Amino acid sequence: MNLRKIIPLLVFAVLFAFLFRGLSLKPRVIPSVLIDKPMPQTVLPALMVSEISKTGIGFSTDQITAKGGLVLVNFYASWCPPCRIEHPALLRLQKLGYKIYGIAYKDKPEDAQNFVDNLGNPYVNIGVDLKGKAGVDWGVYAVPETFVILNGRVIYKHFGVIHEQDMEDIEALLDKAKTSQQEKK
């Protein structure tokens, strides 16, 4: 067969293979270099001096690592509309019994406080990252971002809003982490 005639078909065959491969890739998911590594060393002042944290420390990696277990770390800001969209999902995760630490990213403390006062507070405690220094250490480039931490190590990073359709994935992931943790015990 004359090669010229089958070139279009061959080009398409190659394209088809790539598209098929593309279906199993997740272009929106940008892998974090922190996966399977300990959390970056971070100590942040508390947004509010609550019952739990009379020390004035809102977020401390050492404390979380020492306590161990499964926690979520959520970077948010009151100026970020997607964070508002995400908020109900966090409240739901809290209801399911997950511990979520909040980090108010480049936000005025009073605004960050108003945000949780008005919309409900899903967080165990909130650290204030006024200048975004912690954000840099954690590799955050757009809030909201959520990290899943197991015994002080980052096991997963969710980029952007936790949408309704992400909830299943996240819950499955958390369930898996929980059971693997229990098995170890």
Partner 1 sequence: MIVEYGHLAVALALSLALVQAIIPMFGAYHGNVRLMRLARPVAIGQLLFVSFSFGALIYAYLGSDFSVVNIVKNSHSLKPLLYKISGLWSNHEGSLLLWALIIALFGALVAIFGRGLPLSLQSRVLSIQAMIGVGFYLFLLTTSNPFLRIFPFPDEGRGLNPLLQDPGLAFHPPFLYLGYVGLSVSFSFAVAALIEGKVDAAWARWVRPWALLAWVFLTIGIVLGSWWAYYELGWGGWWAWDPVENASFMPWLVCTALIHSAIVVEKRETLKSWTILLALTAFSFSLLGTFIVRSGVLTSVHAFATDPERGIFILGFLGAVIGGSLLLYALRVDKIEKGSIFAPISRETGLLINNLLLCTGVAVVFFGTLYPLLLDAMTGDKISVGAPFFNKTFVPLMMPLIFIMGFAIQLNWKRADIKAVASRLKFIFGASVLAAVMIFYTMDTDNFMAALWFGLGLWLVLATFADLFKRIGLGKSGNLLNKIKRQPRATWGMFFGHLGFAIAVLGMTGTSNLSQEFQNIMARGQKIDIGGYEVTFEGAKAEVGANYTAVRGLFTVREGGEILTKLEPATRTYITPYQSTTEAALYTALRGDLFIVISEEQEILIDTKKTSVFGVRIYHKFMQVWLWIGMIIMVVGGLFSLSDRRFRIGVPLKSLFAKKNKIRAGE
12 touches partner 1 (CB under 8 A): yes
> In the set 66, 165, 182, 185, which binds partner 1 (CB under 8 A)?
165
> Cα 51 to chain center, whole Å?
25
Residue 58 in contact with residue 44, Cβ under 8 Å?
yes
Spatial distance between the Cα atoms of 74 and 121, rounded to a whole number of angstroms: 12
Per-residue binder mask for partner 1 (CB under 8 A), 60-89, x = binder: ---------------------x--xx----
25 touches partner 1 (CB under 8 A): yes
Alpha-carbon distances of 171 from 76, 90, 98, 168, rounded to whole Å:
20, 11, 10, 5
27 touches partner 1 (CB under 8 A): yes
13 touches partner 1 (CB under 8 A): yes
| Closest to partner 1 by CB, 10 or 43 | 10
136 touches partner 1 (CB under 8 A): no
33 touches partner 1 (CB under 8 A): no
- Per the DSSP assignment, residues forming a β-bridge with 157 are 147
Spatial distance between the Cα atoms of 47 and 134, rounded to a whole number of angstroms: 15
Spatial distance between the Cα atoms of 141 and 30, rounded to a whole number of angstroms: 11
Concatenating the DSSP letter of every residue in 67-126 gives H-SEEEEEEE-TT-HHHHHHHHHHHHHHHTT-EEEEEEET--HHHHHHHHHHH----SEE
| Closest to partner 1 by CB, 48 or 85 | 85
Please choose, out of 2-10, 89-97, 110-118, 129-137, the segment that lies near partner 1 by the rule CB under 8 A.
Answer: 2-10
| Closest to partner 1 by CB, 84 or 153 | 84
Minimum Å gap between C-beta 168 and partner 1 is: 13
> Cα 123 to chain center, whole Å?
13
| Closest to partner 1 by CB, 40 or 81 | 81
Chain residues binding partner 1 by CB under 8 A are 1-2, 5-6, 8-9, 12-13, 15-16, 18-25, 27-28, 30-31, 81, 84-85, 165
